[in-house]
């Protein structure tokens, strides 16, 4: 276990992911965690993350010096680097020379940390102050134009640090540097794999659920599918899955759940066809927030009714459903400030004469995993690639990719256009380079075109391919022109109602990924 101490910036999760990519298990702890508590978990190393830009900022979190006298290897990054320098007797100064973004760095003495890293390379910086003198016993390894001490290490004490952010993709050789620290300086063994996870979780789930029954809602997405498949592996047909077809999924996705997922897992599936109900509820509504609210509300009603039916049915056979399986991921756990521990949720039932507040215990087998790890677990479990490698898709589905009112006709048009875009992306082998590829139908906009010999007055669609690591920020994807051309030609040829294809070239921020 490696602990990543979070100083409140967005970087801690990324660091924890990179540590796991180095095949070492990691968890995040808030910087307010007492050092004794951290040490009680017997970490193999501690990483101090980035945080506020200056150790002099009022209220800037301090690092408890006990961390450094504990014999546990420590790695400081950015703010963590400065805090470490200061706590160990080095000097941090307000030089007035800030560095933000991509910055050239010069390796002056590679040591172990920067071994085989090119002398001149570019890293991602975000700091105002600089370390001007390393603590006693540390070797200075690199510098930049603004910072005389940009990296250091003390091999005897197994400590090191860099002023930059090795965890971000814009930093060249970042992963290499992190691995030098983990594997060579801290001596962590690269043993974290997904094979162990499946076995471990199956055991745990069996222990938790015993001979009781569980239910799980499937959304069509990766997380709920993998969670359900894991639980199915553990308890077989004590699990029942519920899939509500809102009619807002993309072409072929409902079939993938109803047919392919069941074939791959043997799960017992309860399908609710609620397509008409959702279309009726959405009729005449164009406001995005209103759409979201309606979908959320209707979904809960339909899901609870299905749940109640299954629970009631099981009860009439003398078996109680006590567990609800959820595909909660580690980032959700971190963001809600939670660590270990169990949670209970209440599910309200007002159908079928069941108790008002039936309580389920939660089963969350993915609570410690990041999305990329969940995908690997899905592969381990033999789920179809179309499900495991599916791009993230919003709960309200195509409804928030139709600007204007959602109608059956518009859904059909968008579904066809979207299917073409996805097909061509796959054909070009670009699925895994692209984070998400919404296709948006401008339902209330029309433009004049000419197709065949006649004037047309059709709808435009917007292609919105983006790259991202976590959906918090995103960039528009530079898809090759020939791929864009094929998509455009095919859509205007094959989807009669569309006579114009446009490309969204806005990053996030300022744009969001979805249009609504
Ligand atoms: P935005 O559009 O805010 O989206 O940049 C960020 C990520 O969240 C997804 N998204 C949603 N997911 N319910 C969801 O489950 C929603 O209402 C919702 N809105 C956006 C979006 O697809 C992207 O991955």
Q: Running along the chain, 516 residues long, what does each successive block of 10 average in pLDDT?
A: 88 92 95 94 96 79 90 96 95 89 95 97 92 97 96 98 93 97 97 90 96 93 96 96 95 94 95 97 96 92 88 82 92 68 37 51 93 94 93 94 98 98 97 96 95 90 94 93 98 96 95 96
Q: Which CATH class is domain 2-185?
A: alpha beta
Judge contact between 183 and 22, C-beta under 8 A. Answer: yes
> With the C-alpha atoms ordered 245, 250, 251, 252, is the resulting torsion angle positive or negative?
negative
Q: Provide φ and ψ at 362, rounded to 5°.
A: -90, 140
Which string of DSSP letters, residue by residue, matches 125-186? EEESSEEEEPPTTPEEEEE-SS-SBSEEEETTTTEEEESS-TTSTTSTTHHHHHHIIIIIIS
Q: What are residue 127's DSSP bridge partners?
A: 99
Q: Cβ atoms within 10 A of the Cβ of 380, count?
A: 19
Model ipTM value: 0.98
Q: Which residues contact 242 (CB under 8 A, 6 or more apart)?
A: 215, 216, 217, 218, 269, 270, 272, 303, 306, 307, 310
Give residue 512 CA to ligand 1 midpoint distance, Å.
9
143 is known to lie in a ligand binding site: no
Q: What confidence score (pLDDT) does residue 358 get? A: 54
Q: What confidence score (pLDDT) does residue 331 get? A: 85
Give residue 515 CA to ligand 1 midpoint distance, Å.
10
Q: Which CATH class is domain 194-388?
A: alpha beta
The residue whose CA has the least distance to atom 8 of ligand 1 is 394
Measured CA to CA, the distance from residue 227 to residue 224 in angstroms comes to 5
220 is known to lie in a ligand binding site: yes
Q: How far is CA 416 from CA 84, 151, 253, 420, in A?
A: 56, 53, 13, 6
Q: Ligand 1: does its nearest atom lie under 6 Å from the Cβ of 395?
A: yes
Length of the chain: 516
Q: Ligand 1: does its nearest atom lie under 6 Å from the Cβ of 512?
A: yes
Q: Cβ atoms within 10 A of the Cβ of 339, count?
A: 11
Q: What are residue 467's DSSP bridge partners?
A: 475
Q: Ligand 1: does its nearest atom lie under 6 Å from the Cβ of 288?
A: no
Q: Which of 244, 438, 514, 516 to mutate to test the pocket of ligand 1 (most atoms within 8 A of CB)?
A: 514
> With the C-alpha atoms ordered 445, 450, 454, 455, is the resulting torsion angle positive or negative?
positive
Q: Which residues contact 49 (CB under 8 A, 6 or more apart)?
A: 4, 5, 6, 7, 9, 11, 12, 15, 77, 78, 79, 80
Q: What confidence score (pLDDT) does residue 349 get? A: 35
The residue whose CA has the least distance to atom 19 of ligand 1 is 394
- By annotation, the residues acting in catalysis are 78, 165, 167
Q: Which helix (H) or strand (E) holds 216?
A: strand 213-218
Give residue 116 CA to ligand 1 midpoint distance, Å.
41
Instruction: Point out the ligand 1 atom lying closest to the alpha carbon of residue 515.
Output: 2
Q: Which residues contact 470 (CB under 8 A, 6 or more apart)?
A: 13, 14, 331
Q: Which of 327, 471, 506 to mutate to test the pocket of ligand 1 (most atoms within 8 A of CB)?
A: 471
Judge contact between 174 and 168, C-beta under 8 A. Answer: yes
SS3 491: helix
Q: Ligand 1: does its nearest atom lie under 6 Å from the Cβ of 394?
A: yes
Q: Provide φ and ψ at 54, rounded to 5°.
A: -140, 135
Domain ranges of the chain: 2-185, 194-388, 397-503
- Joined together, the tokens standing for residue 116 give 């085989």
The residue whose CA has the least distance to atom 22 of ligand 1 is 394
- Same CATH fold assignment for domains 194-388 and 397-503: no
Judge contact between 486 and 444, C-beta under 8 A. Answer: no
Q: Ligand 1: does its nearest atom lie under 6 Å from the Cβ of 292?
A: yes
Q: Ligand 1: does its nearest atom lie under 6 Å from the Cβ of 224?
A: no
Instruction: Point out the ligand 1 atom lying closest to the alpha carbon of residue 511.
Output: 5
222 is known to lie in a ligand binding site: yes
Return the CATH number of the domain spanning residue range 397-503: 3.30.300.10
């Amino acid at each position: 276990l490696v602990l990543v101490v979070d100083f409140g910036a967005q970087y801690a999760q990324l660091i924890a992911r990179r540590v796991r990519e180095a095949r070492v298990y990691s968890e995040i702890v808030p910087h307010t965690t007492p050092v004794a508590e951290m040490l009680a978990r017997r970490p193999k190393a501690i990483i101090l993350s980035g945080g506020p830009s200056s150790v002099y900022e009022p209220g800037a979190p301090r690092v408890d010096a006990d961390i450094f006298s504990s014999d546990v290897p420590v790695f400081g990054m950015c703010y963590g680097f400065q805090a470490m320098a200061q706590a160990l007797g080095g000097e941090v100064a307000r030089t007035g020379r800030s560095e933000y973004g991509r910055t050239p760095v010069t390796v002056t003495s590679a040591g172990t940390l920067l071994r085989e890293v090119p002398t001149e390379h570019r890293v991602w910086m975000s700091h105002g102050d600089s370390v001007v003198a390393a603590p006693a016993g540390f070797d200075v390894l690199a510098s930049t134009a603004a910072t005389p001490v940009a990296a250091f290490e003390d091999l005897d004490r197994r400590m090191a640090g860099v002023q930059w952010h090795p965890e971000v993709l814009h930093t060249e050789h970042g992963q290499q540097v992190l691995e030098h620290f983990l594997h060579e300086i801290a001596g962590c063994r690269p043993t974290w794999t997904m094979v162990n996870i499946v076995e471990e979780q199956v055991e745990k789930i069996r222990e938790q659920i015993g001979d009781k029954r569980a239910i799980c809602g499937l959304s069509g997405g990766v997380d709920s599918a993998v969670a359900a498949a894991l639980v199915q592996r553990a308890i077989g047909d004590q699990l029942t899955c519920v899939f509500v077809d809102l009619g807002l999924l993309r072409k072929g996705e409902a079939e993938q759940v109803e047919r392919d997922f069941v074939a791959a897992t043997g799960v017992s599936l309860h399908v609710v066809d609620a397509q008409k109900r959702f279309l009726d509820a959405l009729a005449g509504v164009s406001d995005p927030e209103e759409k979201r609210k309606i979908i959320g509300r209707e979904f809960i009603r339909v899901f609870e009714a299905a749940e109640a039916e299954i629970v009631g049915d099981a009860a009439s056979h003398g078996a109680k459903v006590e567990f609800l399986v959820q595909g909660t991921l580690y980032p959700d756990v971190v963001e809600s400030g939670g660590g270990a521990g169990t949670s209970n949720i209440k599910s309200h039932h007002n159908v079928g004469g069941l108790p008002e507040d039936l309580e389920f215990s939660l089963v969350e087998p993915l609570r410690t995993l990041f999305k990329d790890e969940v995908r690997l677990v899905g592969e381990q479990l033999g789920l179809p690639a179309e499900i495991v490698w599916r791009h993230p898709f919003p709960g309200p589905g195509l409804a928030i990719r139709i600007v204007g009112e959602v109608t059956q006709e518009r859904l059909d048009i968008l579904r066809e256009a979207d299917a073409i875009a996805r097909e061509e992306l796959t054909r070009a082998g670009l699925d895994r380079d692209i984070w998400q590829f919404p296709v948006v139908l401008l339902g209330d906009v029309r433009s004049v075109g000419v197709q065949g010999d006649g004037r047309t007055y059709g709808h435009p669609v917007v292609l919105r391919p983006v790259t991202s690591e976590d959906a918090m920020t995103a960039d528009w994807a530079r898809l090759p022109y020939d791929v864009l051309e094929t998509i455009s030609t095919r859509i205007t040829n094959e989807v009669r109602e569309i006579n114009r294809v446009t490309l969204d070239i806005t990053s996030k921020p300022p744009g969001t990924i979805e249009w609504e």
